Amino acid sequence: MAVPTQLPSPGDAPKLTIEKFADGAIACLKFSGTIDESFEGKQLGQSVTGEVLVIDLGAVKKISSFGIREWVDFVGTAAKQVRSVVLIECASKVVDQLNMVANFTGGGRVFSFYAPFRCDYCNSEHRVLLQLDKDHETIKTMKLAERPCKSCKEAMYFDEDGATFFSYVIGQEKFELEPAVASFLATKLDYAVSDLDRKLRVDKVIEGRTTFLKLAGDLDGSFPRDKLAEGLEGTVIIDLGAIGRIQPAGAAQWRGFIQMVTPLVDQLYLAAVPPPVLEKLCSKDDLGAKAQVLTLTLPYTCRGCGTTSGQVIDVGEHHAVLKFATAPELRCTCKAGGVMACVAGEAMMTILPGLPKPTASAELVKSIGILRERAQPPVRKSQHTTEVAPAVAPPRARSSMLVPVLAAMLVLVLGAVAFIAYQKFSGDKPAPATPAGSITNRSAAVRPAWITGDSPATASCVETASKGLSCTGVSSLVARQDDAEDEAAEAALDAVANAVAIRIADPQWKQAVLPIYAAARDAKLAAFDRDPASTTARREVREARRAVAQALRATGSGAVPATPNGRYWEEYGGADGKRFLAFAQVSLGATELAKLVEAYTQSTTALGATVVVAFPLIGWRYPRVERGAVILSMRDGPLQTAGVTEQYIVLAIDGRDVTDATTFARLATDEHAALSARGGTLRLKVQTADPAPREFTVAVKAHTVETPHNGSNTGKRPNTGSNGGTGGVNVWDKFDRNKGSGRDDPTQ
């Protein structure tokens, strides 16, 4: 029976109460109250034991900025102590942080959460619990139907912005609780049914005592000033570079937000302030007592190249000039290097003298770029295309197969038309302005012929005349050229891996390997396509492609080029400053392509397990798995008795890394033979369906041989072969069927 244990917090009236429930290998922590800096997260995380940790967050009322820091320490530490972490009954305050804070789950999964509802008839608020197993399809629609009010029975409605509220959980795959966990929680969970859409997006990063907020979208009456202000403390930096239109109601909500946070924070800095915000919301009255503008954007036109672009101005560095309502003198980065003229309107320039000189240190100003990268600014909507190949494609659901095929065909056709038109009309002329801004620089006079489309964050492949492959990756619009080039190369290599998978016809490989990654890949790409402005969706796609690229280079048997065969980049100037779009081409000949197909399907067998090398696309589900051996089939043997089965990935044997199928067979055979001579335990580190790897153990008995003494028998029964002679070894004499086990890897 589970026994609740309350963990007291210091003080007579603790802000946070934590109750602990335990039943065998399952533990549950229930949080109630406010999570702030007094919460000693790492210490609690180190105390967690068992296999499954369930965290109940239904009674959390508030999480402060410093509380988030302690929470991330807690959940990250706890995740290393157990096999899996499940978050249940997440309150709306928790869902808000899930949507804004990276690693809030520590690698765990959200199973259930509350959605807020409101009834206008009786002026009451209620919450409805949703589960990822039975409400997944409803959550994906981001539309929650009205339902009867619990108080007056009239209709109550979902009182949140759907696209924002579900931005994290919609990226999760549908899953069910393990039977033992479901049974443990059956007495406390009570379920029922979910949503809408939204414009403004907020991303949050906590670094020490500094809170960084990035706002993207239009500023209107829906601006969540109360929610955004709650828990802010210390030094707060707000990046406004992606703010668009400002409506009167939104301006009023913003001013109210500034008034609310002024007494709560030590310093309040505004960064990358765009012209509309500068003109409408940066007067002395608007800034109040603590708000200071660190950097702002002013429109400049280059007299040499004729380009108009937004230039970021450091207020502290140029304050002596700005206080006279004068813009700093800047030079263009074009070849002419001409002087640029500020073309800001008079209303905007009259704001400049009233800006206070920032008190922020130079180090803090420099850190903004790093924090912005961590927050991962949104990119514009894109489609993800994959190769349309004549080979037999991996089995997928009919609807999910049709969409990528049509999308790929459409992108290839439109890309070819666009390229022909581009060559015909552009020549060496300056490229026209695009939604991303004007092209201010590029790595070549014209785009290479291998580029057939420029939708950000996409990848596609075409078959060459020699039956080889040419794959092109496009980056997102990012602030750094090297980052854009890396992202483009990773996208191209991911397309190569997918093209190889399409060409693998082995039915056993498809049955065992394809299900490991296919659903995760489809879900993450679909989540990004639905909301390309989602920081979480963009980060998951980028991390997955990076993992695939690393694994492909590591296991590709030298068939994959170390660097792209072709590179090209473009620099854009706009209100957000410089942005780079990069392209990368990876080409393979027919010989290299066949070599990859052979390398990833060649199997070996040891201790009853038939395995192949881990396929790179597994990185979409397990980004940390770069090498290993995937089990295709399993027959009677020590590994099967220990609990190892098909689709598991063996990562190490007795602490030695398994790099491919051949390494697995050698290590498994050699280690088992060595242990059979002296007895002991064979240990395997295995990636199962759980997020973290597990350790499986196989007890191996020592082989006992008769030792004669003075012609007499020692009393030990000799081990004989079928003909009665001594020395015959039966492999099953070395294995204790009752001692094979699978348990968590304590090192994870």
Give domain status of residue 526, yes or no.
yes
**How far, in Å, CA of 67 to CA of 234, rounded?**
12
Tokens 């959200």, residue located: 110
**How far, in Å, CA of 579 to CA of 272, rounded?**
14
pTM of the model: 0.43
Say which CATH number the domain at 727 has: 2.30.42.10
pLDDT one-digit tens code per residue, 359-417? 988 888 888 877 777 776 443 333 344 333 333 333 333 333 444 444 444 444 444 44
In this structure, are 178 and 227 located in the same domain?
no
pLDDT one-digit tens code per residue, 484-501? 999 999 999 999 999 999
Contact 451, 566 (CB under 8 A): no
Give domain status of residue 191, yes or no.
no
In this structure, are 351 and 495 located in the same domain?
no
In this structure, are 120 and 31 located in the same domain?
yes
Work out the percent of the chain whose per-residue pLDDT is above 90: 38
Say which CATH number the domain at 346 has: 3.30.750.24
In this structure, are 425 and 569 located in the same domain?
yes
Q: Which domain holds residue 555?
A: 398-596
Alpha helical stretches, state H, 221-293? 225-229, 248-261, 275-281, 284-287
Question: Nearest CA to 614 among 678, 676, 711, 687?
Answer: 687
Give domain status of residue 380, yes or no.
no
**How far, in Å, CA of 548 to CA of 490, rounded?**
8
Query: How is residue 542 written in tokens?
Result: 């980028």
Alpha helical stretches, state H, 382-449? 398-425
In this structure, are 178 and 206 located in the same domain?
no
Q: How confident is the model at residue 224 (pLDDT cuts 50, 70, 90)?
A: confident
**How far, in Å, CA of 374 to CA of 295, rounded?**
19
Backbone angles phi, psi at 111, to 5 degrees: -95, -35
Number of domains in the chain: 4
Q: Which DSSP category does 39 fall into?
A: S
List, as one string, the DSSP characters of 593-645: HHHHHHHHH--EEETTEEEEEPPGGGGGT-TT--S-EEEEEE-SSHHHHHT--
Give domain status of residue 192, yes or no.
no
The helix (H) or strand (E) run that includes residue 650 is: strand 649-653
Of 185, 209, 237, the residue at which a domain comes to its end is 185
Contact 225, 249 (CB under 8 A): no
In this structure, are 633 and 712 located in the same domain?
yes
Contact 86, 181 (CB under 8 A): yes
**Rounded to 5 degrees, what angle do the CA atoms 345, 348, 350 make?**
110
Give domain status of residue 246, yes or no.
yes
pLDDT one-digit tens code per residue, 323-343? 888 889 888 776 666 788 888
Q: Which residues contact 598 (CB under 8 A, 6 or more apart)?
A: none
Residue 187's pLDDT is what? 45
Residues in the chain: 748
Tokens 């339902």, residue located: 147
pLDDT one-digit tens code per residue, 569-620? 999 886 667 889 999 999 999 999 999 999 999 999 999 999 999 999 999 9
In this structure, are 305 and 454 located in the same domain?
no
In this structure, are 691 and 574 located in the same domain?
no
Question: Nearest CA to 461 among 505, 491, 496?
Answer: 496
In this structure, are 407 and 495 located in the same domain?
yes
456: number of Cβ within 10 Å: 24
Give domain status of residue 123, yes or no.
yes
Contact 570, 445 (CB under 8 A): no
pLDDT one-digit tens code per residue, 266-309? 999 999 998 889 989 999 889 999 999 999 988 887 776 556 66
Residue 366's pLDDT is what? 81
Give domain status of residue 35, yes or no.
yes
In this structure, are 86 and 54 located in the same domain?
yes
**How far, in Å, CA of 365 to CA of 373, rounded?**
14
Give domain status of residue 567, yes or no.
yes
CA distances from 112 to 156, 165, 186 (A): 21, 14, 13
**Rounded to 5 degrees, what angle do the CA atoms 169, 143, 535 make?**
35
**How far, in Å, CA of 162 to CA of 139, rounded?**
9
**Which carries the bigger pLDDT value, residue 139 or residue 434?**
139
In this structure, are 417 and 538 located in the same domain?
yes
Of 313, 343, 375, the residue at which a domain comes to its end is 375
Question: Nearest CA to 447 among 583, 572, 579?
Answer: 583
Residue 493's pLDDT is what? 95
> Is the pLDDT assigned to residue 723 strictly greater than 90?
no
The helix (H) or strand (E) run that includes residue 556 is: none
Of 185, 210, 245, the residue at which a domain comes to its end is 185
In this structure, are 689 and 621 located in the same domain?
yes
